[in-house]
Amino acid sequence: MDAAEALALLMSPPGRIDPYPTYERLRRYGPVVQAGPVFYVVTGYAEVDEILRDARFGVIDDVLRDQFLPAWRDSPAVASISRSMLRTNPPDHSRMRRLAAGAFTPRRIAAMRDVVVAQADELVDAMVEQARDGEPVDFMAEFAYPLPVGVICALLGVPAADRPLFRRWAADLTGVLEPEITTQELAVADRGATELRDYFAALVRARRAAPADDLTTALVGVHDADGDRLSGEELLANLVVLLVAGFETTTNLLGNGLVVLLDHPRAAGALRDRPDFAPGYVEELLRYDSPVQLTTRVSDAAVTCGGVDLPAGSWALLLLGAANRDPRRYPEPQRFDPWRPQVHPLSFGAGPHYCLGAGLARLEAQVAFPLLLRRLPGLALAGRPRHRTRLTLRGYETLPVIIDTESAAPHRGTPAGAAPGTP
């Protein structure tokens, strides 16, 4: 199997569900391998990190979109993503990112810990109650989705009653982030993008009429005061991306991470007893099974990387999941080791496009995993979960779990023997 054949396997449904064997096939050709004219696949940790930080590489711009996707402006999904900070280069990227960055400072994220703990406890209470009939509970639907969506919606000022709407809309839209997409899949993504943009257009109108203490109000204020700092199109595009990126990655991190922990009971037991180990565990979970598996960059100059000469205009497919398992960086990379030293996963990227919400995602995972293990000591998988057939955003469609309600612990502050949620 040559590199092009391995790449084709990676894009197939079986390759997307379990990409790691294919990563190793690609790695045999070196950390940077040419897979087509001016198209390169990068699996090495050092090389991916280098490209992400190199100013000679950027995301696809309008000129390239016009060349390869001439009708992209007619696609609500492509247009929404393209007008956000996710798919723009400096100076536009820097300008938009600065406007939202204030909501994600380390101080503000640390101040949200108590809110995250309270929401996680409430979700566990609801899971325990749902499990009293002995039936499995879908962890993705009942915890992994509602926890991060509740947090990001609170930041954006989205009413709690509207939160259930976003799971399908976001799932539809994020299909456009895949490296390959069919006409039918693009139509589904366009539907999700349209619904999300319509929702945020209504929320913008509501915040103009009644401002609130939230990020939506702040961004509306910037646009209304100076449209050159944030256009109306950019306002809606960034609200959509902030919402979707604010929970999709964390939802996958929670689902992927729980399966790994339940598959490693000794490590799970140690975290149950020592919740202060959580930061190290979360970094290793991000490395071991990254919720974001790839991204792309385009060079505007000739570059040498990993001993390979990339001409100007080269496309680089950066396989973050492969880089996180590079044996040159992490010995025995296929082994989950929460005590592994010097873990710095590339799951949230690096350089100018480093994930704005990475600190918030880490906080939610650091709170959730010890809490779940402590309060649900009998938690177990109800068979094997079902992966989504996505490569870019790797996660589970459903994750059924069994909860031993007899051993479930009340959350802190609840008297022993009292019903879950009792003050």
CA dist 398 and 387 (Å) reads 7
pLDDT, mean over the chain: 93
Tokens linked to 206: 């509501």
Q: Is 134 exposed, middle or buried (0-12, 13-18, 19+ CB in 10 A)?
A: exposed
Task: Tally Cβ neighbours within 10 Å of residue 82.
Answer: 22
pLDDT of residue 384: 83
Question: Residue 391: is its pLDDT beyond 80?
Answer: yes
CA dist 317 and 287 (Å) reads 18
CA dist 134 and 161 (Å) reads 28
pLDDT of residue 418: 38
Confidence bin at 85 (pLDDT 50/70/90): very high
Confidence bin at 1 (pLDDT 50/70/90): low
CA dist 94 and 97 (Å) reads 5
For residue 154, what is the enclosing H or E element? helix 146-156
CA dist 335 and 348 (Å) reads 21
Q: What is the mean pLDDT of residues 219-248?
A: 93
CA dist 353 and 380 (Å) reads 37
pLDDT of residue 383: 84
Q: What is the mean pLDDT of residues 335-351?
A: 97
Q: With b meaning 16 or more CB within 10 Å and e meaning fewer, what string describes 222-251?
A: bbeeeeeebeeebbbbbbbbbbbbbbbbbb
Question: Residue 16: is its pLDDT beyond 90?
Answer: yes
Give pLDDT tens digits for 2-15.
888 999 999 999 99
Confidence bin at 93 (pLDDT 50/70/90): very high
Tokens 């992966």 label which residue? 387
pLDDT of residue 174: 93
CA dist 275 and 196 (Å) reads 37
pLDDT of residue 71: 87
Query: How many CA atoms lie within 13 Å of 280's alpha carbon, on the beta-carbon side?
Result: 15
Please, what sign has the CA dihedral across residues 60, 61, 62, 63? negative
Q: What is the mean pLDDT of residues 160-180?
A: 92
Tokens linked to 266: 């000794």
pLDDT of residue 41: 97
CA dist 320 and 392 (Å) reads 9
- Tell me phi and psi for residue 295, to 5 degrees: -150, 175
CA dist 166 and 6 (Å) reads 35
Question: Residue 276: is its pLDDT beyond 50?
Answer: yes
Give pLDDT tens digits for 95-120.
999 999 999 999 999 999 999 999 99
Tokens linked to 222: 């910037």
Q: How far is CA 403 from the centre of its chain?
A: 26
CB–CB of 233/217 below 8 Å? Answer: no
CA dist 57 and 212 (Å) reads 39
CA dist 409 and 416 (Å) reads 8
For residue 349, the 8-state DSSP code is -
CA dist 285 and 311 (Å) reads 35
CB–CB of 333/325 below 8 Å? Answer: yes
Confidence bin at 414 (pLDDT 50/70/90): very low
Q: How many helices (H) and strands (E) are present in the chain, helices listed first?
A: 19, 12
Question: Residue 413: is its pLDDT beyond 80?
Answer: no
Give pLDDT tens digits for 318-334.
999 999 999 999 999 99
Percent of the chain with pLDDT over 70: 97
Query: How many CA atoms lie within 13 Å of 38's alpha carbon, on the beta-carbon side?
Result: 12
Confidence bin at 421 (pLDDT 50/70/90): very low
For residue 272, what is the enclosing H or E element? helix 265-273
pLDDT of residue 199: 97
Beta-sheet pairing, 308-310 with 303-305: antiparallel
pLDDT of residue 2: 85
Q: Residue 3: what residue type?
A: A
Strand, helix or coil for residue 237: helix
Confidence bin at 422 (pLDDT 50/70/90): very low
Q: Distances in Å between the alpha carbon of 329 and those of 16, 44, 54, 415?
A: 24, 9, 20, 48
CB–CB of 320/295 below 8 Å? Answer: yes
Confidence bin at 158 (pLDDT 50/70/90): very high
Question: Residue 253: is its pLDDT beyond 90?
Answer: yes
Task: Tally Cβ neighbours within 10 Å of residue 346.
Answer: 25
